[in-house]
Amino acid sequence: MGKPLRIGIVGVGAISGAYLSTFERLAAVRLVAVADLDAARAAAVAAEQDVRALTVDELVTDPEVDVVLNLTIPAAHAEIALKAIAAGKGVYGEKPLAATLDEARAVVEAGRAAGVRVGCAPDTVLGTGVQTARKAVDDGLVGTPVAATATMVTPGHERWHPNPDFYYQPGGGPLLDMGPYYVTALVTLLGPVESVVGAASHSRATRTIGSGPRAGQAVPVDVETHVTGVLRHESGALSTLVMSFDTVASRASRIEIHGEKGSLVVPDPNGFDGAVELHTLDDDWQTLPVSAGYRDGARGYGLADLAATPDGVTARANGDLAYHVLDVMTSLLTAAEKGATVAVASTCERSAPVPLSDAPRV
């Protein structure tokens, strides 16, 4: 049995709680330090977790830290990742990999040059939901995939988030915020994307915070808040994507996959599990038995998977996948702006499937 990967967290805001609760049951990783621009918040989390509170610069150079878990806002993702890589640390970050494609490329290239691993959320695709659906596709249950749909609509995060500003600034918006879950799932299911076409809009110049101490305060909107597009996969399959902070609700399945032999309903890619349903030419809808993926998955399983992946083997939630997903999304925004088809310059390998198993172990 190998030693657990020693983790230092930069950024202990809201999302960190999900990782911290998961770490308690992941033997492949061990938290050793935390840092945050708010020193008091870092100190409180450190005391709760019985680890050290450091400054950001101290943490990324600390000899007791193997991998920096980067949970900062998207605008800071690249800066923190590059600091950690320069110090010889592996990096695993929240999505997106960086706020811009150029920054993301710099992170991936720096990691490759330094010989350290770069990983990135979302790791939801490693759970039983998407992995059971992937196995169904790979086993030919729908035949050759022809098309897919992915739909995420919500009236906006300002209704519940006390500090929603970054959702409406560059690096945010429905596509870059929620799109990584959906596009990563589509790439996991159908392979990389070669070109995109799309359209986008925004309905309001400001949003009003609905909860917390800033309730009633207006937040400026500097991104497109409704984005729709078609992704052409290298396989030939076409995925139709709708991502919106401008609409109320939908009865559409989060993701559907369609082939000439059958159709598949895939559960919410923002979660790790959920029912996978199949309709074939001969049979009505049926729920497939869970057949692949990490059982009881939660935020942090991608980091544990990285810890358990042997040297020389690519971890599943890897930087190249995250870079391609960001490339697809930024290309879609460019296509919407130009009103033209845009080629996606990057590609990636489909990550290895996850056999039905418990948490990754080193």
Calpha distance 255→268 (Å, rounded): 7
Say which residue, 163 or 51, is predicted with more confidence: 51
Calpha distance 151→33 (Å, rounded): 38
Token pair of 68 as six digits: 């920096």
Task: Return the domain boundaries, the chain.
Answer: 5-120, 124-291+321-343
Residues 6+ apart with CB under 8 A from 79: none
Q: Grade residue 120 by pLDDT with cuts at 50, 70 and 90.
A: very high
CA atoms within 13 A on the CB side of 156: 26
61-103 pLDDT, tens digit each? 999 999 999 999 888 999 999 999 999 999 999 999 998 999 9
Identify which of 142, 152, 153 has the alpha carbon closest to the alpha carbon of residue 183: 152
Q: Supply φ then ψ for residue 159, to 5 degrees.
A: -65, -30
CA distances from 41 to 35, 54, 57, 281 (A): 9, 11, 17, 56
Fold of the CATH domain 5-120: Rossmann fold (3.40.50)
User: Count of CB atoms within 10 A of residue 35's CB?
Assistant: 28
Cα dihedral 257→247→227→178 (10° resolution): -70
269-308 pLDDT, tens digit each? 999 999 999 999 999 999 999 999 999 999 999 999 999 9
321-354 pLDDT, tens digit each? 999 999 999 999 999 999 999 999 999 999 999 9
Same fold, 5-120 and 124-291+321-343: no
pTM, two decimals, is 0.95
Residue 233 has pLDDT above 80, yes or no: yes
- pLDDT for res 274: 98
Find out whether 291 and 77 touch, Cβ atoms under 8 Å.
no
13-38 pLDDT, tens digit each? 889 999 999 999 999 999 999 999 99
Q: Supply φ then ψ for residue 126, to 5 degrees.
A: -90, -5
- pLDDT for res 172: 85
Percentage of residues in the chain with pLDDT exceeding 70? 100
Tell which CATH classification among 3.60.20.30, 3.40.30.10, 3.30.360.10, 1.10.287.610 matches the domain 124-291+321-343: 3.30.360.10
Average the pLDDT over 189-208 and give the result.
Answer: 96
- pLDDT for res 170: 83
- pLDDT for res 171: 77
Average the pLDDT over 164-186 and give the result.
Answer: 93
